[in-house]
Amino acid sequence: MSCARYVPYAGPPPRIGAAGSTPWQQNSYEDCQHSHKKDLIRDLRKRKVTAPKAATLQRLRHLLVRGDRGLLDYTKYETDHLKTLIAQRSLQMPECSACRGNIVARLEQADENMTFPKFTDLPPELRVHIFELYFASVLTDPRGYEAPSPPFLAQASRLLRKEALPVYYNTCRFVVAAERDLYADTDSATGSRYNWCFSKRSKAFIEHSSCEDLAQITRLRLQVRWHTDLRTVAHVHLDVDIPLKGKEYRVREAGKRTRGRCDSMHDAEGLVGGVVRGIVERPGTNRLMREDVERMIEVVSEAPSRMSELYRRWRSDG
């Protein structure tokens, strides 16, 4: 029996793999063992899904997957209503139509085989709205995603790729992580030894993303950490919103803001805000470029004395 601890449901989490975040992957709950049955039943009830105590582990997993997919819980409906659904969907009534369980099983089986081959026949505006609803329901982690894999539906056809990717890049908050190394180069002003570099995932994402893809990104989260001395590690997390035409840009501290923390982050927000303002005021286009991302990280990392003073102020304010 596995001794892995079951983590109760708290919304669809980002799935982190070797290539980065993959929020498109459906959780099968195969890691849930018999010792987790009570937790599974509790989570199903939180989702307002009927979960009988006598249900098998396989049935509970099936109900969890259906809940993640947003499918109906047919056990809530009366038998007459279920028969009406069978008729409306032109399904064959099970042989033992008096058995409620057989009707539920037939409807659930039909859900697994659902297709909609005329999706591309819908008006383009409606397809784009569907993409907006889909990405808003999947990309739910407020912390953002570092080097996320592209959405699978963008690989279905050229038409869907052309329509879905702009919505995806405008909806997802992309994490760009970097670290400053005190032991690389020497700063002539302060004598500190420092340099900065992207994390492996962020570096791979920026290097392998085309200019067209980067130009569509409007939401970033900058994560920069550095050593103020041999023992102390400080960090800055900033959310950057690059507006479309007619909107204002925003640079703010990520997460919950406290009074002391807000004051200490003011300088970092101003440094990055200057870069974003340059993007907005750039003649011809206000789209993000690879050099802009590097410059945002650089302005936070290039002045160790300034950032050390910022960190000391935060410590004294706290």
State pLDDT tens for residues 68-113: 777 888 888 888 898 899 888 888 888 776 788 888 888 988 888 8
Question: Which residues have C-beta within 8 Å of that of residue 25, sequence separation ≥ 6?
Answer: 15, 17
- Residue 119's alpha-carbon distances to 116, 130, 148, 297, in angstroms, are 6, 10, 26, 42
185 with 107, same domain?
no
Q: What is the mean pLDDT of residues 106-130?
A: 89
Q: Which of 59-63, 83-87, 234-238, 265-269 has the lowest mean pLDDT?
A: 265-269
Residue 262, pLDDT score: 44
Q: Which domain holds residue 227?
A: 173-317
86 with 192, same domain?
no
Number of domains within the chain: 2
208 with 305, same domain?
yes
82 with 183, same domain?
no
Residue 115, pLDDT score: 81
210 with 105, same domain?
no
Using N-to-C axis directions, what is the helix angle for 158-171 and 124-138, rounded to 10°?
Answer: 50
187 with 107, same domain?
no
d(CA 5, CA 66) in angstroms, rounded, equals 22
Tell me the range of 9-13, 132-136, 235-239 where mean pLDDT is highest: 132-136
280 with 177, same domain?
yes
307 with 212, same domain?
yes
Q: Is residue 3 part of a domain?
A: no
104 with 177, same domain?
no
Residue 149, pLDDT score: 78
The mean pLDDT value of the chain amounts to 75
What string of DSSP letters covers 154-189? Answer: GGS-HHHHHHHHHHHHHHS-EEEEEEEEEEEEE-TT
Q: What is the mean pLDDT of residues 24-33?
A: 69
Residue 124, pLDDT score: 92
Q: Is residue 155 part of a domain?
A: no
Q: Is residue 132 part of a domain?
A: no
**Which pair of tokens denotes residue 226?**
């550095």
Q: What is the mean pLDDT of residues 184-195?
A: 50
Q: Is residue 227 part of a domain?
A: yes
Question: Which residues have C-beta within 8 Å of that of residue 122, sequence separation ≥ 6?
Answer: 130
- Does the structure show a pLDDT above 80 at 59? yes
Q: Is residue 143 part of a domain?
A: no
Q: Select from 112, 138, 158 the last residue of a domain.
A: 112
187 with 302, same domain?
yes
Q: What is the mean pLDDT of residues 149-172?
A: 87
CB 119 within 8 A of CB 129: no
183 with 308, same domain?
yes
The b/e string for 238-259 (b: 16+ C-beta within 10 A; e otherwise) is bbbebeeeeeebebebbeeeee
Q: What is the mean pLDDT of residues 8-25?
A: 43
Q: What is the mean pLDDT of residues 297-311?
A: 61
76 with 195, same domain?
no
Q: Is residue 82 part of a domain?
A: yes
Q: Select from 77, 112, 147 the last residue of a domain.
A: 112
Q: Which of 80-89, 211-220, 272-281, 303-312 has the lowest mean pLDDT?
A: 303-312
Q: Is residue 8 part of a domain?
A: no
Q: Is residue 152 part of a domain?
A: no
- Does the structure show a pLDDT above 50 at 18? no
The pLDDT > 90 percentage for the chain reads: 5
Question: 194-215: per-residue pLDDT in tens?
Answer: 567 888 888 888 888 888 888 8
Tell me the range of 120-124, 136-140, 228-232, 268-272 where mean pLDDT is highest: 120-124
Residue 26, pLDDT score: 66
**Which pair of tokens denotes residue 140?**
């739910």
